[in-house]
Amino acid sequence: MPLKTIGTIAIPDAVGGEFDHAAFDATSRRVFIAHTARDCVEVIDHDAGKHLATLPGFPGVAGAIADDGQILVTNRGSASVALLDANTLETRTKYKTGGRPNGAVIVAQSGLGIAACIGDEGETPTLQLFELNGPKHVSIDLPGRPRWCVTDAAAERVFLCIREPSMVLVARLPDLGAVTHWKVPSIGAHGLDIDHSRGLLYVACDDSTLVEMSSISGDVTNVWPIGGPPDVTFFNPATGLVHVAIGEPGLVDSIDPRNGNSTRTVTGAGAHTTALVAPDQLYVISAAHGGVLVLSDT
């Protein structure tokens, strides 16, 4: 059965807007949403089920990532990332990056921020690492356009989707060393998440497939069809389901990798980004719904 719709949460100026990656911070119980078209970050109070604040000043914001009360925001329009306090909503600091930072990771336990930068004309794509409370800044060149990235449970490795050649790039933390390339057997590696308990990566690809890979060896263990070119991908450890947002025609495909069963939930045209609010809700950021479509994942 499709995911059950619980309700909606209105976001100011959502109609006609364009959104990108969002994240739930379990410490503050807030959801942070990149509102790309308005150069701002929208904040939702999850427990109250309402819009809390609009934070301006994030040019071309591409994504928000949360960990332990800290939010890392990538700004494609200013070649920078910003570190926010999830409780006070204040910007603590900003870091310069390569051109058009896109996918990102924040690791509070290690004090690290990571940004995958697409680059500008004549600039090589890079993966950049920042020490959040120190001067360390490491950068490595990438073999193609980066998409999304995640780390393993121990924050010892980072995994990054590369569009072409389609692969998952793996680098050691905290120095981005020991780089390896794992070929993905589908075109356009894009959305990415990880099942830490089973050691599996889920790579949603532009040719309308979801690929399961070992996060230890890179071996491909399964490939499933999905309903269109994907974007944001989340694995929910509470239900064991992988949710893939598909902007056109506006779907969330939910795959159970334990048996291959899948369900499809109709959302809204252009709704290509989501936020997993663990353990039991999926926020679909949808301009057609005026903000957030809240789905039950139980």
Report cis status (omega within 30 of 0) of the bond before 165.
yes
* pLDDT computed for residue 184 by the predictor: 98
The one-letter amino acid code at 148 reads W
Q: Which is nearest to 105 in space by CA: 194, 43, 40?
A: 194
Match 């959104």 to its residue by tokens. 19
pLDDT in tens, 92-126: 999 999 999 999 999 998 999 999 999 998 899 99
Peptide bond just before 125 cis, omega within 30 deg? no
Mean pLDDT score, 149-155? 96
| pLDDT number for residue 67 | 97
| Residue-wise DSSP of 220-246 | EEEEEE-SSS---EEEETTTTEEEEEE
Can you give the pLDDT at residue 22?
A: 98
Bond before 135 cis per omega within 30 degrees: no
Judged against a pLDDT cut of 80, whether residue 84 lies above it is answered with yes
Mean pLDDT of the chain: 97
Q: Virtual CA dihedral for 265, 212, 168, 200, nearest 10 degrees?
A: 110
Please state the pTM of the whole predicted model. Answer: 0.97
Residues 4-21+95-296: name the CATH superfamily.
TolB, C-terminal domain (2.120.10.30)
- Residue 146 to residue 124: CA distance in whole angstroms: 11
Q: For strand 157-162 and strand 167-172, is the pairing parallel, antiparallel, or unpaired?
A: antiparallel
Contact 161, 218 (CB under 8 A): no
How sure is the predictor about 170, in pLDDT bands with cuts at 50, 70 and 90?
very high
Q: How far is CA 203 from CA 147, 251, 297, in A?
A: 11, 17, 20
Distances in Å between the Cα of 177 and the Cα atoms of 129, 174, 180 are 11, 8, 9
| % of the chain surpassing 90 pLDDT | 96
pLDDT over 80 (residue 1)? no
